[in-house]
Chain A
Amino acid sequence: MRNSPQKSSRLRSYFSHHARVSLASLGRLYAQPIATIMTTAVISIALALPVGLYIALANVGQVSTGWDNSTQISLFLHTHVQQQDAEKLMRRLEKHKDIKKVELIDKEKGLKQFKKTSGFGDALKYLDENPLPIVLVVQPRIHPGQPDRTTKLVDDLSKNKLVEIAQLDVQWVKRLYTLLEIANRSILVISSMLAIAVLLVIGNTIRLDIQNRREEIEVSKLIGASDAFIRRPFLYTGFWYGVLGGVMAWLITVSSLMLMEEPIHNLALLYHSDFRLNGLDTGSTLLLILISCALGLTGSWIAVSRHLKDIEPS
């Protein structure tokens, strides 16, 4: 209409207007530090919790990958097999191309281990002779993507005359993976619920903000502000809550990890492992902040679309 400024200058001023509105929204948050910090804290805690769980899960998964490689085959020899025959078999197996390492646990050693770990050591006193067989612990060479090769090796080994039972110890790894999958799903459920909580917190904060600025909204509408114009500062407020919440969640996560790093490393050393806790990489950090921003925007959008149309000049 008559008084509209020219188009090119309008486009330029549109961007500078956005920059100004976004800064003004940030300034408003800064002007009310206590309220801002409390809201941000709620958001960041709700975000840091699932992030922490995911990190824990990822680390457990990583540790168990290591265990997967240490798959071993226990060859329980017939009890009548003598030590020399067992050693001969061991040396022969060590040359097998699919076998990395073979360890021989003789009857005495086996007995000692059994006494130490089973808790039934005393029962053995009543036996006249050592009932345990010689055991060869075979570490197969793992060929990723060829799981059948290990199974075939087990088959071959079980056909050996000296071997009574050949047992592949992978069952527990499978169980662990199933548990991890359940944990994964649980975290997904928890994350979704916390995401909804974040939406509600931001939505409620924006709703209060809208109520506090009722007068300003009314006047703006009277002098011809479009809905988009009125919506904008509130959407930016939501966006900033998202950014602040995301960054604070990252800080919480990183400091918690630092707190736990040393004891976990010490624990790993006790298990003769050089395992180190994996933290958040750059990609995950960006994703966290991105999700947080998206939640902030969505939450404020919901609040704005619900409450802004209630305010009409009268």
Chain B
Amino acid sequence: MIHFDNISKRYPGGHDALRQISLRLGKGQMAFLTGHSGAGKSTLLKLIAMIERPTRGQIFLDGVNLNNIGNRKIPYIRRNIGIIFQNHHLLYDRTVFDNVAMPLIIQGYRRQEIHKRVRAALNQVGLLSKEKTYPITLSGGEQQRVGIARAIVHKPLLLLADEPTGNLDPELSREIMQLFARFNQVGTTVLIASHNLELIKEMGSPMISLQDGRVSHNGLPFSISSSQGR
């Protein structure tokens, strides 16, 4: 699903965020990305979501070389990805329902279909009763779950999460992680950046550790040099 081929990313100013990263995450897999802040976790996710472009190397997403995707085509790549942020990026001027509906509206779904899917997504994160409320009235954990509903409402192939439990207490964090595991069970590829090692071990999914922009530990079943399978 995701294939990093010798990726380096240098930010303007000379900071090397990633150095020669090669990774493969297969379709339907779930993996954790760990490392200290500044190790390059966020940069790696940004490269997949095409928020940043690599300085060197190639990234393949579902077999598509992202280097060949022009800026105008980026939206269509992102429509296959669900992204979850630490600070959830909800819009406070609209209801929970309208927040979750955004990806569907953008992709031109019909009203009835939008209604059905949004309610299904909210049901999955346990917030169906809050559809008409405004995000500002929700707790931190609830807001994060609205963000997750928005990320999965259009049934993306890939879920990316950047520190999704960063601001939550252990109990809520566990709930959120179990939510991700459930999405993974129905076939969604999931990549979660987190420094919550305890919780990661509990989840039992493979772990990739970054240190200073390099892979220091790769728990994925495919070896770095392996060229077969996704």
- CB within 8 A of B109: which of A5, A224, A312? A5
Complex interface residues of chain B between 68 and 83 (CB less than 8 A to chain A)? 72, 75-81, 83
| Closest chain B CB from A111 CB (angstroms) | 85
> Contacts A14-B108, A224-B75, A227-B72; is A2 near B103 (CB within 8 Å)?
no
Which of chain A's residues has its CB closest to B94's CB?
A: A216
Contact with A along B77-100 (1 / 0, CB 8 A): 111110100000101010000000
Residues of A within 8 A of B81 (CB): 224
Question: Counting CB contacts under 8 A, is A229 at the interface?
Answer: yes
Given contacts A2-B157, A3-B154, A227-B72, contact A222 B109 (CB under 8 A): no
User: Min CB distance, B10 to chain A, in Å?
Assistant: 16
Determine whether A223 belongs to the interface, using a CB cutoff of 8 Å to chain B: yes
B102 at the binding interface (Cβ < 8 Å): yes
Q: Would you give the shortest CB distance from A122 to chain B, in whole angstroms?
A: 83
A7 → chain B closest CB, angstroms: 10
Nearest CB of A to B126, in Å: 22
Interface flags, A299-314, vs B, CB<8A=1, else 0: 0000000000000111
B51 in contact with A3 (CB, 8 Å): no
A226 interface contact, C-beta 8 A? yes
B103 touches A223 (CB 8 A): yes
Also in contact, A215 and B91, with CB within 8 A (given A220-B106, A221-B75, A226-B75): yes
Q: Contact at A13–B106, with CB atoms within 8 Å?
A: no
- SS class, residues of chain A in contact with chain B: helix
Interchain CA distance A10-B83 in the complex, whole Å: 24
Over the window 135-161 of chain A, the binary record of Cβ atoms lying under 8 Å from chain B Cβ atoms (1 yes, 0 no) is: 000000000000000000000000000
A80 sits at the interface (CB 8 A): no
- Most chain-B CB neighbours within 10 Å: which of A2, A3, A10, A223? A223
The answer to whether A223 and B51 touch across the interface, beta carbons within 8 angstroms, is: no
Interchain CA distance A123-B93 in the complex, whole Å:
87
Interface presence of A16 (CB below 8 A): yes
Contacts of B105 in A (CB 8 A): 17
The residues of A that contact B91 with a CB separation of less than 8 Å are: 215-216, 219
* Residues in B140-175 with C-beta less than 8 Å from chain A: 150, 154-157
Complex contact B80–A219 (CB within 8 A): no
A225 to B49, CA, bound (A): 13
> Is B15 interfacial (CB 8 A cutoff)?
no
CB distance from A196 to the nearest CB of B (A): 31
Could you say which interface size class chain A belongs to?
Answer: 20 to 34
Q: Is A1 an interface residue (CB 8 A)?
A: yes
User: Could you tell me the distance between the alpha carbons of A13 and B106 in the complex, rounded to whole angstroms?
Assistant: 11
Is A87 part of the binding interface, using a Cβ–Cβ cutoff of 8 Å?
no
Q: Tell me if B76 and A224 are in contact (CB < 8 A).
A: yes
- Contact residues of B between 90 and 146, Cβ < 8 Å to A: 91, 93, 102-103, 105-111, 113
Question: Which residue of A4, A12, A215 contacts B110 across the interface (Cβ within 8 Å)?
Answer: A12
Using known A-B contacts A3-B154, A5-B113, determine if residue A224 contacts B108 with beta carbons closer than 8 Å: no
Are B109 and A223 interface neighbours, CB within 8 A? no
With A2-B157, A3-B79 already in contact, the answer to whether A222 and B106 are too (CB < 8 A) is: no
Question: Would you call B155 and A3 a contact (CB within 8 A)?
Answer: yes
Tell me the complex Cα distance, A224–B155, Å: 13
Complex Cα gap A1–B72 (Å): 16
CB distance A5 to B107 under 8 Å? yes
Q: Give B102's nearest chain A residue, CB to CB.
A: A223
Q: How far apart are A183's CB and chain B's nearest CB, in angstroms?
A: 49
* Closest chain A residue, CB of each to CB of B157: A2
- Whether B110 pairs with A224 at a CB distance below 8 angstroms is no
Residue of A with least CB distance to B85: A222
* Known A5-B108, A9-B110; contact A223-B78, beta-carbon cutoff 8 A: yes
Q: Nearest residue in B to A21 (C-beta to C-beta)?
A: B105
The answer to the question of A94 belonging to the interface, with a C-beta cut-off of 8 Å to chain B, is no
Chain B residues with CB under 8 Å of A10's CB are 108
Task: Choose among B75, B102, B111, B113 the residue that contacts A219 (Cβ–Cβ < 8 A).
Answer: B102
Q: Is the CB of B107 within 8 A of A3?
A: yes
Please provide the chain A residues from 196 to 237 with a CB less than 8 Å away from any CB of chain B in the complex.
215-216, 218-227, 229
Determine whether the beta carbon of B51 is less than 8 Å from that of A314.
Answer: yes
Bound CA–CA A183/B229 (angstroms): 79
| 8 closest Cβ pairs, A-B complex | A224-B79, A224-B78, A225-B106, A224-B75, A226-B75, A223-B103, A13-B110, A13-B108
10 additional contacts (CB under 8 A) given A1-B76, A16-B111: A3-B154, A5-B110, A9-B113, A13-B110, A17-B105, A219-B102, A223-B103, A223-B150, A224-B79, A312-B51
22 residue pairs A–B, Cβ–Cβ below 8 Å: A1-B76, A1-B80, A2-B157, A10-B108, A13-B108, A14-B108, A16-B110, A16-B111, A215-B91, A219-B89, A222-B49, A222-B89, A223-B102, A223-B150, A224-B103, A224-B106, A225-B106, A226-B75, A226-B76, A229-B75, A313-B51, A314-B51
Name B residues whose Cβ lies closer than 8 Å to a Cβ of A: 49, 51, 72, 75-81, 83, 89, 91, 93, 102-103, 105-111, 113, 150, 154-157
